[in-house]
Amino acid sequence: MTEDKPRIGVAMIGYAFMGRAHSQAWRNAHRFFDLPLEPHMAVLVGRDEQRATAAAGQLGWGAVETDWRRAIARDDVDVVDICTPGDTHAEIAIAALEAGKHVLVEKPMANTVAEAEAMAAAAATARASGVRSMVGFTYRRVPAIQLARQLIADGRIGEVRQVRAQYLQDWLADADAPLSWRLDKEKAGSGALGDIGAHIVDLTQFITGQRLTGVSGMLDTFVTERPVAESFSGLHGTAGTERGPVTVDDAALFTARLDSGAPAILEATRFAWGRKNAMRIEVNGSTGSIAFDFEEMNVLNFYDATEPAVTSGFRRILVTEPVHPYIEGWWPPGHGLGYEHGFVHQVVDLVRALAADEDPAPSFEDGLHVQRVLDAVERSSAQHSTFTQIGD
């Protein structure tokens, strides 16, 4: 720490997959970017003290608490970073905001619209006292995604005519993959729809600068029972006999309309063999197109329909130049970034906003709208509806 860089204390609640990614970001953001505040990793919260202590030592946290309420009450905590299952988000976030702590919460923001509404209301009240909040839609911070948004805003593809977005994974395609909290509706809220579908809802809106206004959706659960974790032996072995119910969707498919009336087609599945993290989005406009696939996250494909046909075609842009978003903090051109860098950029944007006393984005209001989209998809699927309006 230097004299001209005051610290901002962070409490992180949860330390599994997302907690590890967030920890790496809090450790490194100020080492690669010139930040007005230096993040101080004050305390890690986990229910099991022994495991939390081991995680804190490995990930770089200064102290451990087993009760998130004690962490929120600490004087050395300014920001509460929530990396827990969705069923805990609302209670923790609202309590933190009421205690005067800034909040970063992982997506989806909540498990229900009612929870998200309560969180957004608490954020609005806290904002009046200078307390800020943000939802962790980290894919917004991929440089190629930022460039896509910039090109569309600059009119480089003309009027947006249609969008298609997919998020394809295969980690549940094996019918004997074990149960986890992500397959329990009480904890996760929904399955592929909320886990990865929330990302493409947010990206569709972020890239186009428009909101989804209505949907027609279909949800499917392909495997209704799975082995409990202790009895699992994998795809090439024999699963144990103890099994439990899957209470969430395995795949979500829906059509939608943007503010402008442009149609969108969105798909989220964790059953697409061979697709590890294929988050894809293509936007077709009146004078061009952009296309992105996270499995090639440093590349944006851009088509300019105004160019002569003799040389026209998709242009492969390697988004690693110093003029590209966020790249100035990293490596020479051509030295690509990875998954973890989006979380660093998230911390960079959050810390800069807090230092400037500005609202970071995406806001809790943005997260609430995504929650309303997810809810509309669920209602449409349950009612076999051709179109379900998204409420305000």
The per-residue pLDDT for range 348-362, each reduced to its tens digit, is 999 999 999 999 999
Q: 111 is in which domain, residue-wise?
A: 7-139
Question: Percentage of the chain surpassing pLDDT 90?
Answer: 93
The token duo for 245 is: 């119910």
Same structural domain, 207 and 329: yes
Q: Which of 111, 139, 167 is the last residue of a domain?
A: 139
Is residue 238 helix, strand or coil? coil
AA letter at 83:
C
Q: Which of 139, 159, 192 is the last residue of a domain?
A: 139
272-313 confidence digits (pLDDT tens): 999 999 999 999 999 999 999 999 999 999 999 999 999 999
Same structural domain, 379 and 232: yes
Residues 29-42, mean pLDDT to the nearest whole number: 98
167-215 confidence digits (pLDDT tens): 999 999 999 999 999 999 999 999 999 999 999 999 999 999 999 999 9
Is residue 72 helix, strand or coil? helix
Residues facing 282 on adjacent strands: 164, 291
pLDDT surpasses 50 at 233 = no
DSSP string, 145-180: HHHHHHHHHTTTT-SEEEEEEEEE--TT-STTPPP-
Same structural domain, 127 and 184: no
Same structural domain, 298 and 326: yes
* Beta-strand relationship, 263-269 and 251-258: antiparallel
242-279 confidence digits (pLDDT tens): 899 999 999 999 999 999 999 999 999 999 999 999 99
- Looking at residue 311, which CATH number applies to its domain? 3.30.360.10
- Looking at residue 118, which CATH number applies to its domain? 3.40.50.720
- Work out the mean pLDDT of the chain and round it to a whole number: 95
Residues 303-330, mean pLDDT to the nearest whole number: 97
Same structural domain, 158 and 204: yes
Same structural domain, 65 and 197: no
Give residue 16's pLDDT: 95
Give residue 4's pLDDT: 74
pLDDT surpasses 90 at 149 = yes
Give residue 230's pLDDT: 61
Phi, psi of 235 (to 5 degrees): -60, -35
Distance in angstroms (rounded) separating the CA atoms of residues 19 and 186: 21
At a CB cut-off of 8 Å and minimum separation 6, what does 316 contact? 299, 301
pLDDT surpasses 90 at 235 = no
Whole-Å CA distances, 105 to 8, 109, 131, 211, 268:
17, 6, 14, 21, 22
pLDDT surpasses 80 at 392 = no
Is residue 214 helix, strand or coil? strand
Distance in angstroms (rounded) separating the CA atoms of residues 64 and 51: 10
Same structural domain, 271 and 352: yes
Query: Ramachandran region of residue 384, left (φ > 0), alpha (ψ -120 to 50) or beta?
Result: left
pLDDT surpasses 80 at 1 = no
Count CB atoms within 10 A of the CB of residue 294. 21
To which residue do tokens 């009421």 refer? 98
Distance in angstroms (rounded) separating the CA atoms of residues 346 and 208: 20
Alpha carbon 345 to its chain centroid, in Å, reads 13
95-111 confidence digits (pLDDT tens): 999 999 999 999 999 99
**Helices in the chain by DSSP H: which ranges?**
17-32, 49-59, 68-73, 89-98, 113-127, 143-153, 185-188, 192, 198-208, 341-355, 364-383
Whole-Å CA distances, 289 to 129, 146, 304, 317:
43, 15, 7, 13
Distance in angstroms (rounded) separating the CA atoms of residues 244 and 183: 10
To which residue do tokens 């509404």 refer? 117
Q: Which of 106, 124, 139 is the last residue of a domain?
A: 139
388 within some domain: no
HSE, side-chain direction, 13 A CA sphere, residue 222: 15
Q: Are 200 and 165 in contact (CB under 8 A)?
A: yes
Q: Which of the four pLDDT bands, split at 50, 70 and 90, describes residue 232?
A: very low
Same structural domain, 242 and 123: no
pLDDT surpasses 80 at 240 = no
Same structural domain, 159 and 122: no
